[in-house]
Amino acid sequence: MITVKKNILIVDDSALMRRVICDIINSDERFHAQDTCKDGLEAFNKLLDRKYDAVLLDVNMPRMNGLELLDKLNENHIQVTTIMVSTLTADGTEETLSALEKGAVDFVLKPENIIEARGKGFRDQILNILVTVTKAGTLPDHSSEPGIGHSRSRGSGNSIFRPASEKSFSAAPSTGSGRFKRSRMNYSVDEKEKEKEASHLDRHHSEGTITGAGRTYADRFRTERAHTDRHHSEPAHAERWEQDHSSDLNAGHGMASASREDTDQLVSGSKMSSSSGASSDILIALACSTGGPKALHEVIPHLPKNLNAPMVLVQHMPVGFTKLLAERLDIQSQVKVKEAEEGDILEKGKVYIAPGGKHLEIIAAPGGQHKVHLSSAPAIDGLRPCANVMYHSLENSKYKKIVCVVLTGMGSDGTKGIVGLQKKRPLHVISQNEATCVVYGMPKAIAESGLVDEVVPLQDVAKTITKNTGVR
């Protein structure tokens, strides 16, 4: 059977980077990269006439940069699966977050130098992301292969949002038959140019503006884990949780029929319309990953100022990104949004985002209140923050109702935690529908657990949350 190769467009003002990325992509028989553009304007004109399975897009380019191209595509309603190729400087972090908010599904970090650019880490990073977002199938094992024409470099090559141990999920609607228990679903480069571009890469490296080829979100979590594990004696709550809940998913369907029915009366007693005085003991706990930054901008700004519950939120991101995300959401929203800090007392109408590099746990506070505890316990499946840890911490909370929300993301983070939590607390579980997900992984996993109450499109998530929490 002949399989049509996925067609990839490369957009970068560096001729050398265009060549390197093309070589990487064409080294895999599932992909084809022939078309390249040196700036966003050239790419926009090409995208008007041709369709591509994915676009790898640089940020800083002349005439029209990557962010301007994303704006132009959105204005003209041109849907393109875009992966940014970015640096992790302070400016690069803000630009990358802007790109994710504008619709880019992921990003890879530019390498430090030409050796790293042609190394295994950078190659695996690109190919793994392309495999996931284009549904190209299982990635061959390259562990014994050197980099393309050069020595091997280090790096796991996972997507920035994707834990290393998670299986791949489709980045577009699939035909899965997940059950919903109690669901209410109503080239060529001349030698002079090569030397010039190689010098350009090395100059950036010496100035410290480009970091770690092949490093992904999960890689950065693991680096932080290795550091903190040597210097912290804090109890490994996350590690204990992983051991305690290792069998929860296997028993998920059996537990759902009994435990959910046991808590139905408690849950129904907490449900109020958005126009009435809902229970004051309600919490919203939200989890998302790939596609999350853009999705959150479609949810948080649409929550009412007088929302009758606090929200705690895990978005898989590295250090630095979550604070900026919180600040940007706060400007656009009626509710207050902040990066969670140790000891924060949870208040109604406020959203607390787990900081990159820390697990977010909710613990009891005096006077029947609840507060934030940030943990440096080891990463779970390469993730810190990890939504499963957040949900697990809520098992001992005093909330009479917890509204669990699962949005777009690779993998299955959150499902184990919710499966365990539903045995201890009354829940109402909301999942984003397949059609509006960038990657239908996390919502698919929780749907298949049988615990979902409502499956809704992204544009209806905010009002569904408000319906189940009420307003003050």
In the block, residue with structure tokens 């204005």: 75
- Kindly name the residue from 302, 316, 359, 373 that is annotated as catalytic: 316
Is 247 an active-site residue?
no
In the block, residue with structure tokens 């998913």: 249
What CA–CA distance (Å, rounded) separates 246 from 274?
A: 37
Q: In what order do the strands lie in the sheet with 311-315?
A: 336-339, 350-353, 311-315, 282-288, 401-406, 427-432, 454-456
State how far the alpha carbon of 155 is from the alpha carbons of 111, 121, 290, in Å.
11, 4, 20
Is 39 an active-site residue?
no
State how far the alpha carbon of 205 is from the alpha carbons of 110, 172, 208, 212, 329, in Å.
10, 37, 5, 10, 33
Is 370 an active-site residue?
no
Whether the link from the prior residue into 310 is cis, omega within 30° of 0, is no
| CB-CB contact of 405 with 284 (8 Å) | yes
- Kindly name the residue from 39, 124, 344, 413 that is annotated as catalytic: 413
Give start and end residues of each alpha helix (H) in 235-386: 237-244, 252-270, 292-296, 321-332
- Kindly name the residue from 14, 170, 289, 412 that is annotated as catalytic: 289
Our measurement of the distance from residue 352's CA atom to the centroid of its chain's CA atoms, rounded to an integer in Å, reads 17
Which sequence positions are flagged as catalytic? 289, 316, 413
